[in-house]
Homo-oligomer: A and B are copies of this chain.
């Protein structure tokens, strides 16, 4: 595999009506050269997370087509769900995968954002690495009060003006946050309790904004369909705070409150290295390292960067 690869993980505010999500996915895949890596819909969150990859221009085209279809089909004034959102196409992040710099993804975010405003009249906030105002690196600030508050405040408060477009929410599609960021692990841990306060308390303990682990965002969510509380987690740098550290902290904090972890789920995709780190930890491995993995060794041995004594011929 070679060439430039960008990932895009648009989140759409529909997780219940599969025909709507299907139509959005179909619209995106009609763009040439784009691969669907994953799709996941959650009825409680009422949200779908789609993972695409491909060359930068192709992924940008697909992302725009997905936003266009979501604006056409989703009416946010009728949307209820456990996950905060400001738009029909709520967030559209671009992530460098291969042969692409973060700066390239910032340019993609800007051009797709410009197109969303000029063609669809949906105002756009630029976030994370694409942010133009310091407070907007953090998506929580952009999404504060959600669609309902934003509709009232966008025009009235200068600090809520969008980065691209007029300061007026689209009547049914709200606004869209378009950004560039590193790969993020979305990971939810389900608790054996219906008490949302327990999930909230655990989320506060682990998240960096409340003094917890660096690079961890977290909130409590109630899953009506399963009648249980969930700690919903975003891990923005799993090499600084590993996945297994977060898992064990949640399990420990739950245990202190007499609550069990009943399961967990990865939303979208997870980088191999995060899993390898977790397996090494849980197996109590004294000597675990990525080089212990057969496929990693073979790949390193055939790499053109390998020292010559280690190289395998490529045939």
A309 at the B interface (CB under 8 A): yes
A72 at the B interface (CB under 8 A): no
CA of A287 to CA of B190, assembled, Å? 12
Name A314's closest neighbour in chain B (CB-CB): B1
A286 at the B interface (CB under 8 A): yes
The proximity string for A residues 287-306 relative to B, scoring 1 for CB distances below 8 Å and 0 otherwise, is: 11001111111110110001
Interface hits, A256-315 → B, CB 8 Å: 261-266, 269-272, 275-276, 278-280, 282-288, 291-299, 301-302, 306, 309-315
CA of A42 to CA of B302, assembled, Å? 28
Least Cβ–Cβ distance between A274 and chain B, in angstroms: 8
| CB-defined contacts of A10 to chain B, threshold 8 Å | none
| CB-defined contacts of A270 to chain B, threshold 8 Å | 292-294
Chain B binder among A31-39, A122-130, A167-175, A196-204? A31-39
Least Cβ–Cβ distance between A61 and chain B, in angstroms: 14
A55 at the B interface (CB under 8 A): yes
Least Cβ–Cβ distance between A3 and chain B, in angstroms: 3
How many chain copies? 2
Q: Which residue from B5, B33, B288 sits with its C-beta under 8 Å from A298?
A: B5
Q: Which residue from B36, B278, B299, B302 sits with its C-beta under 8 Å from A283?
A: B278
The proximity string for A residues 36-48 relative to B, scoring 1 for CB distances below 8 Å and 0 otherwise, is: 1110000000000
Q: Which residue from B55, B247, B282, B294 sits with its C-beta under 8 Å from A272?
A: B294
Q: Given A54-B312, A312-B54, A285 and B263 touching (CB < 8 A)?
A: yes
The proximity string for A residues 181-222 relative to B, scoring 1 for CB distances below 8 Å and 0 otherwise, is: 001000001100000000000000000000000000000000
| CB-defined contacts of A287 to chain B, threshold 8 Å | 265-266
Q: Which residue from B271, B279, B294 sits with its C-beta under 8 Å from A278?
A: B279
| CB-defined contacts of A160 to chain B, threshold 8 Å | none
CA of A216 to CA of B272, assembled, Å? 26
Q: Given A279-B278, A285-B264, A287-B266, A5 and B312 touching (CB < 8 A)?
A: yes
Q: Looking at A269, A272, A275, A301, which has the most chain B CB atoms within 10 Å of its CB?
A: A275
Least Cβ–Cβ distance between A238 and chain B, in angstroms: 11
State whether A282 touches B278 (Cβ < 8 A): yes
| CB-defined contacts of A36 to chain B, threshold 8 Å | 309-310
| CB-defined contacts of A296 to chain B, threshold 8 Å | 272
Please list 21 pairs of residues, one from A and one from B, whose beta carbons are closer than 8 Å in the complex, sorted by A's number. Answer: A1-B299, A1-B302, A2-B315, A5-B298, A34-B312, A35-B302, A36-B310, A37-B298, A51-B297, A53-B298, A53-B301, A55-B312, A244-B279, A247-B282, A263-B284, A264-B285, A265-B285, A266-B288, A269-B297, A270-B292, A271-B294
Known: A244-B283, A279-B282, A282-B282. 17 other contacts (CB 8 A): A1-B314, A2-B315, A3-B315, A34-B312, A35-B301, A37-B294, A38-B291, A38-B297, A55-B315, A183-B294, A261-B284, A263-B285, A264-B283, A269-B292, A269-B293, A272-B293, A275-B293
